[in-house]
Homo-oligomer: A and B are copies of this chain.
Amino acid sequence: MNTERLHRQIAFILEIDRLKSVLRRTYLVNDPRHENSAEHSWHLAMMTLVLAEHATIEVDLLAVLKMLLVHDIVEIDAGDTYCYDAAGNDGKAAREELAAQRIFGLLPDDQSAELHALWTQFEARETPEAKFAAALDRLMPILHNYHTQGRSWLAHGITSAQVTERNRHAGEGSETLWAYVEEIIADAVKQGYLTEGGSK
Contacts and interface: CB of A to CB of B under 8 A. Distances in A.
Interface of A: 1, 6, 9-10, 12-14, 16-21, 28-31, 35-36, 38-39, 41-43, 45-47, 49-51, 54, 61-62, 65-66, 69-70, 107, 111, 115, 143-144, 147, 176, 179-180
A149 to B, nearest CB: 14
A12 B89 CA distance: 33
Given A1-B179, A14-B147, A28-B21, A43 B51 contact: no
Secondary structure at chain A's binding surface: helix, strand, loop or mixed? helix
Q: Which of A28, A46, A47 has the most CB of B within 10 A?
A: A46
A107 B147 CA distance: 19
A70 B46 CA distance: 8
